[in-house]
Amino acid sequence: MLFQKLRTAQVKDCFVSVAGDIVTVGTGKLSRSFDIAAGAFLEVTDRVSGRIYSSVTPVTVPVLDPAASACTLTSAAETNCGAGTEHLSVTLTYTSGDRSLDIRFELFPGLPFIVTKMTLETGGGAFEPVIDKSTHPAHTDFERSQILDAVSFSGRHREMTAYSLYDCSDERDQPVRRQTSSLYFRGRHDEWGNIFHITDLIDRQELLLVKNSPVCQSHLAHNTPDLRIEGDMFYICGGGIDYRSLPAGRLLLYHSTVGIGTGLMRSFRDLARAVNPGCGTLFAMENTWGDRSCDKKLCDAFIRREIDAAEKIGVDIVQIDDGWAKGTVDTQGGFETHIWQGYYTAAPDFWAVSEKKFPNGFGELSDYAKAHGVALGLWFSPDSENEFVHWEDDVGTLYGFYEKYGISWFKLDGITMHTKAAERRMALLLSELDRRSGGRIQVQLDVTSGRRFGFLYQRGYGTLFVENRYTDWANYYPHATLRNLWALSEILPARTFQFEFLNHRRNPENYGDDPLAPANYSIDYLFAVTMMANPLVWMELSELDSRDIPALSRIVGVWRQHRDALYHADVTPIGEKPTGFSFTGFYADCGRTGGYALLFRELSKAAAYTYSIPQLAEKSYDITVLDAPKHAVLSAAADGITAVFDESRSYVFARISCRPPHGQ
């Protein structure tokens, strides 16, 4: 093969080095080697403990043979259009005729992870995959050409926790399934899921394997397990393509993340924060869709009333949902019959502002919002026609609203991707919008329905709009919202998400005598459920009962004072899993200075509970209650905080201030 090194770079402790045919990439925490000539993954080294995890796994791609292809190596310092964390990318590009394979490693300073991404470019065709045929009745065939990454992790006493993630929350109400099992050191078996956390029970070393793809139900060409385990070897598999029927063009395979060391779940949340630095603080956004008036009330005067109410309470953004565009309402059939793709084919001005709803456009309305300290946001549906062939038109439309009106918050909905071309174009839409706006446009990616990117794929942009719930349909339960945020925050930063709270006084008759009905909770409790994420005010604020405004304004005011710190903190679930009858909550770790505790007593008969908070072990600290509408007493415990609540369905939000160790 012909190998050419074009340029190399270094970012803080991230590095790349080449010795003969071997390239080594890494950070101060770990490194991995790759045989350029053979096109093979080699050992991963824990640079903290010195432990080496040796293996040799060739990249077996039927499209081309890396060992017989020309290769170039490039590296660069990247910042995601200047809006992200500076990191190092190292790319090996193999070419053979009109075919190419990119193997790209991404490394982030100070973190024990290597992200590996592969991209194929071909003229399409049918290729024979490389399959290991099983000769044992308990084993299955294994398509080696679907391997995305490989690492060894030996040990006779290993335990694995597998996390499977689920979106399409319109049909499901459990975004995380967690299962822990022992690994047989001679075993060979397949696993399906998204995140696999393996621990050696002897020396407590950890391996974290992440399949960066849509959830299983939205995964393209899901013809192989997500993880194959063969004794000491772990293979992350499944690029979302079928080599037997490969489309032409540039194909982004699903990618992988490998981490080695200790405390890897915390470090993975750090990686997620580095990949997506977000907007710099938590935000509260109102969207009137939660009251189910849909487009019926939508007009200039209505949105002005919502802006006034948002200003009074302290909400940052009023987002106009579906029904503002000419193509959705200014038609013969009206809103109820508007199309869900082919927008530009139907009408070049489909996304013009409706003259029926907003005869003066958004100019004066946007100015009104700004004058009241509120930002304006919009709902938008990227055009999925012909595999998102109009993605550049969508970028132009969205950027046009940003340029003309200063609108920078867009909920992206109505998305369904059935092909690699659709995924690639949707990714291009997000990256180009980010590039053109310098990261100032923030998207809220709806994951409630359709085949979408989900929780782990293409996560460099915006926040995730997790669920639609309504009192009209009696499917909004505060404890369920709390449970879903609680479960997801073990895996990803809480700031990744938008979670809803509703007007609890609407539709009480739909719940009967259900003790967990929203009408049994106070409005400030409902807000507190969402305040570690980005609260979604899923209601018409102008219709909120006047009795609820003081309580909501109070807790929003407290939250606004501390939201910057919460945004940068590492938020983890504590206490029991929320069931409606538990003691549960969150701890936001701000480092050596302390953090914040948000504690809930659900409908529990007991009044007292001790919340275990490992971050506070062997530390001395002071507790300052910041908000507790119902009386509660907090005291330091050996491994956390003991709380005594006077009443059920109550919460307390407190600042934890760690004292310096003696002698400092």
Where residue 483 sits, what CATH number does that domain have?
3.20.20.70
Q: How many domains does the chain have?
A: 3
Phi, psi of 195 (to 5 degrees): -135, 135
Residue 337 reports pLDDT greater than 90:
no
> Does the residue 580 lie in any domain?
yes
Q: Is the pLDDT of residue 224 over 60?
A: yes
Q: Which candidate, 540, 461, 2, places its Cα nearest to that of 298?
A: 540
Q: How far apart are CA 291 and CA 504, in angstroms?
A: 10
pLDDT confidence band for 83 (50 / 70 / 90):
low
Measuring CA to CA, how many Å separate 465 from each of 328, 391, 440, 641?
A: 22, 21, 18, 32
Give percent of the chain above pLDDT 90.
91
User: b vs e for 503-513, b when ≥16 Cβ sit within 10 Å of the residue's Cβ?
Assistant: bbbbbeebbee
* Secondary structure of residue 407 in the 3-state scheme: coil
Of the given ranges (6-20, 517-531, 535-549, 559-573), which has the lowest mean pLDDT? 6-20
CATH at residue 184: 2.70.98
Among the candidates 256, 275, 294, a domain finishes at 275
Do 223 and 310 lie in one domain? The reply is no
In a domain, 440, yes or no: yes
Is the domain of 251 the same as that of 307?
Answer: no
Helix orientation angle between 363-371 and 391-405, rounded to the nearest 10 degrees:
60
Of all residues in the chain, what percent carry a pLDDT higher than 70? 97
> Would residue 565 count as lying in a domain?
no
Per residue in 228-240, pLDDT tens? Answer: 999 999 999 999 9
Could you read off the pLDDT of 138-163 as tens digits, one per residue? 667 889 999 999 999 999 999 999 99
Q: Is the pLDDT of residue 225 over 90?
A: yes
Q: Are residues 524 and 473 in the same domain?
A: yes
Residue 262 has pLDDT above 80, yes or no: yes
pLDDT in tens, 47-77: 999 999 999 999 999 999 999 999 999 999 9
DSSP-based three-state secondary structure for 502: coil
Q: Are residues 300 and 343 in the same domain?
A: yes
- pLDDT above 70 for 420: yes
pLDDT tier, 333 (very low <50, low <70, confident <90, very high otherwise) = low
Average pLDDT estimate for 292-301: 94
Whether 181 and 321 map to the same domain: the answer is no
280 assigned to some structural domain: no
* C-alpha span between 619 and 117 (Å, rounded): 41
Amino acid 661: pLDDT: 79
How confident is the model over 267-289, as a mean pLDDT?
97
Residue 478 domain-assigned (yes or no): yes
pLDDT tens-digit profile of 540-590? Answer: 999 999 999 999 999 999 999 999 999 999 999 999 999 999 999 999 999
In 156-222 the beta strands, taken as DSSP E runs, fall at 158-165, 176-183, 188-191, 195-200, 206-212
From CA 533, how far away is CA 552, in angstroms rounded?
Answer: 16
Q: Is residue 383 part of a domain?
A: yes
Give the mean model confidence (pLDDT) for residues 14-28.
96
483-512 pLDDT, tens per residue?
A: 999 999 999 999 999 999 999 999 999 999
- Out of 559, 590, 621, a domain closes at 559
Residues 64 and 127 in one domain: yes
Residue 204: what pLDDT?
Answer: 95
Q: What is the pLDDT of residues 239-257, one digit of tens each?
A: 999 999 999 999 999 999 9
The domain of 588 spans 575-658
**Over 80: is that where the pLDDT of 173 sits?**
yes
pLDDT range class, residue 5, cuts 50, 70, 90 = low
Q: Is residue 153 part of a domain?
A: yes
Of the candidate ranges 115-119, 292-296, 331-335, the one whose mean pLDDT is the lowest: 331-335
Using an 8 Å Cβ cutoff, are 115 and 75 in contact? Answer: no
| pLDDT for residue 8 is more than 80 | no
Q: Is 67 helix (H, G, I), strand (E, B) or coil?
A: helix
pLDDT at 346: 93
Task: Give the pLDDT confidence score for residue 524 in this predicted structure.
Answer: 98
Based on the domain organization, do 423 and 491 belong to the same domain? yes
247 lies in the same domain as 343: no
The answer to whether residue 1 scores a pLDDT higher than 60 is no
Q: What is the mean pLDDT of residues 408-429?
A: 97
In a shared domain, residues 537 and 403: yes
Q: Is the domain of 403 the same as that of 292?
A: yes
Residues 98-138 have pLDDT tens digits of: 999 999 999 999 999 999 999 999 999 999 988 887 766 66
Residue 564 falls within a domain, yes or no? no
pLDDT at 662: 67
Which of 502, 532, 559 is a domain's end point?
559
Residues 351 and 461 occupy one common structural domain: yes
For residue 188, the model assigns a pLDDT of 85
pLDDT tens digits, residue range 175-213? 999 999 999 988 788 999 999 999 999 999 999 999 999
Q: Are residues 593 and 549 in the same domain?
A: no
